[in-house]
């Protein structure tokens, strides 16, 4: 596995490149131009500027997360061709610095959804928390009205200045079904994958987080069966997956180990993190360690080892520990601890494999 670390850019991240350099085994930065709106072309000179920063620390920029998809592409509106062409121009610009993987998602309106960015864990650290009842019992337009009247009600993604756009988007998606969304993804992939093949850049779709429908919006990247459907929409290895254990793993019917084995040729980027599930459907993110959450991170790493995974891996979100002031979920300390746990598991597997090989050669 090739370890990489997400960095939001100079002035946009509390973590610095010199700090990342001191985490063992990190070879590259997962990056994006976060100020560029979905649908706009990423300018070549901005890309070059990031390259210069990364070069100074000998980090590669092979993985981009994310080049976001304009809503009109997800909605299947007429203007989508214009935005798909822009996406293609961005791919070409990224190829000029040798980018290898583009992570993206196809979630309508929201990216990940949580109800509290500072949920409490028993050790007094905090982490991203999802309260199911708060989301399922909520009529979205009601929530819009509530937040407009009292901004204290706000949740991540529902910032008061976004409310008007939210209203329009909810209306636009009203008649978009799951099948429509899949068709719109196919349309996008059919246009973009040939370019990816030509420029040797793999697309890797990130699962929906959480992987079920929320606020009556359709969601498609949710289960093993859906992933199968998506990789078959366009049968090219350039149409790939970002397998995010934490996003998919909050559904008990999702078996991450089985997914790693089934999609081994299509997983170009792995996000590894743990999450603790509660009986009422709530969940909170935890340390990466298997014992601390509900996911078998040890078996997940073993599955990657078993398939001889040579792709990119990053720890995903981390807890906020040791009073770190950071972007929710993206502090330095807990993600660095996560990396050391992943390396610990990986190195132990390497060691036992070598012992087995040694044993085999010695018995011949």
Residues catalogued as catalytic: 206, 244, 271, 316-317, 330
Helix (H) or strand (E) holding 264, with range, is none
Interface pattern 315-334 for Mn ion (x via CB under 5 A) = -x------------------
Residue 114 binds which of ligand CS2, Mn ion, none (CB < 5-8 A, kind-dependent): none
Of 140 and 207, CB closest to ligand CS2: 207
Count of residues that bind ligand CS2 according to CB under 6 A: 13
Of 244 and 301, CB closest to ligand CS2: 244
Interface pattern 220-259 for Mn ion (x via CB under 5 A) = ------------------------x---------------
Of 139 and 233, CB closest to ligand CS2: 233
Position 103 contacts ligand CS2 (CB under 6 A) = yes
Sort strands 126-130 and 283-285 into parallel, antiparallel or unpaired: antiparallel
Of 146 and 162, CB closest to ligand CS2: 162
Residue 158 binds which of ligand CS2, Mn ion, none (CB < 5-8 A, kind-dependent): none
Tell me which of 72, 93, 105, 287 binds ligand CS2, using CB under 6 A: 105
In what order do the strands lie in the sheet containing 275-277?
116-120, 126-130, 283-285, 275-277
Bridge partners of 129, per DSSP, are 116, 284
Structure tokens at 107: 């979630």
Of 148 and 342, CB closest to ligand CS2: 342
Structure tokens at 261: 């084995």
Closest contact distance (angstroms) between CB of 55 and Mn ion is 27
Position 247 contacts ligand CS2 (CB under 6 A) = yes
Residue (of 58, 57, 31) closest to 46 by Cα position: 31
Of 244 and 260, CB closest to Mn ion: 244
CB–CB of 256/248 below 8 Å? yes
Position 139 contacts ligand CS2 (CB under 6 A) = no
- Binding segment for Mn ion (CB under 5 A), chosen from 100-108, 291-299, 310-318, 348-356, is 310-318
* Spatial distance between the Cα atoms of 232 and 236, rounded to a whole number of angstroms: 8
Sign of the Cα pseudo-torsion (60, 62, 65, 68, in order): positive
Bridge partners of 240, per DSSP, are 204
Phi and psi for 190 in degrees, rounded to 5? -60, -30
> 98: alpha, beta or left, given left = phi > 0 and alpha = psi -120 to 50?
left
Q: How far, rounded to the nearest angstrom, does the alpha carbon of residue 287 sit from its chain's CA centroid?
A: 17
Measure the CA angle with vertex 108, ends 128 and 30; round to 5°.
55
- Binding segment for ligand CS2 (CB under 6 A), chosen from 98-106, 135-143, 254-262, 341-349, is 98-106
- Secondary structure (3-state) at 272: strand
Distances in Å between the Cα of 168 and the Cα atoms of 40, 107, 112, 137, 142 are 20, 16, 20, 21, 14
Closest contact distance (angstroms) between CB of 68 and ligand CS2 is 7
Interface pattern 312-331 for ligand CS2 (x via CB under 6 A) = ----x---------------
Binding site for Mn ion (CB under 5 A): 244, 271, 316
Binding site for ligand CS2 (CB under 6 A): 65-66, 103-105, 111-112, 206, 209, 244, 247, 271, 316
């Amino acid at each position: 596995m090739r370890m990489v670390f997400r960095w939001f850019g100079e002035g946009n991240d509390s973590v610095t490149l010199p700090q990342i350099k001191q985490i063992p085994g990190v070879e590259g930065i997962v990056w994006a131009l976060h100020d560029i709106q979905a649908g706009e072309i990423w300018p070549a000179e901005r890309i070059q500027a990031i390259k210069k920063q990364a070069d100074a620390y000998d980090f590669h920029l092979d993985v981009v997360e994310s080049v976001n998809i304009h809503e009109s592409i997800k909605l299947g509106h007429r203007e989508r061709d214009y935005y798909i062409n822009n996406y293609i121009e961005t791919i070409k610009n990224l190829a000029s610095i040798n980018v290898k993987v583009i992570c993206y998602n196809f979630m309508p309106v929201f990216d990940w959804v949580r109800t509290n960015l500072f949920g409490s864990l028993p050790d007094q650290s905090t982490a991203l928390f999802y309260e199911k009842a708060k989301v399922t019992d909520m009529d979205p337009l009601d929530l819009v009205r509530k937040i407009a009247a009292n901004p204290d009600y706000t949740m991540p993604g529902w910032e008061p200045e976004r409310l008007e756009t939210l209203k329009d988007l909810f209306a636009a998606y009203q008649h978009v079904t799951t099948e429509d969304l899949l068709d719109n993804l196919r349309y996008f992939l059919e246009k973009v994958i040939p370019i990816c093949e030509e420029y040797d850049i793999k697309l890797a779709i990130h699962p929906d987080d959480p992987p079920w429908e929320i606020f009556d919006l359709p969601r498609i990247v949710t289960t093993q069966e859906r992933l199968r459907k998506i990789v078959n929409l366009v049968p090219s290895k350039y149409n790939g997956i970002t397998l995010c254990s934490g996003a998919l793993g909050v559904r008990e019917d999702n078996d991450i180990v089985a997914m790693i084995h089934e999609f081994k040729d299509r997983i170009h980027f792995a996000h590894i993190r743990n999450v603790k599930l509660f009986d009422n459907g709530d969940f909170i993110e935890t340390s990466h360690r298997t014992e601390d959450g509900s996911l078998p991170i040890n078996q997940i790493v073993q599955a990657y080892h078993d398939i001889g995974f040579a792709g990119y891996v990053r720890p995903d979100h981390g807890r906020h520990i040791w009073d770190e002031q950071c972007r929710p979920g993206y502090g330095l300390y807990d993600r660095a601890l996560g990396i050391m746990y992943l390396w610990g598991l990986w190195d132990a597997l390497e060691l036992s494999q070598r012992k087995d090989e040694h044993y085999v050669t010695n018995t011949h």
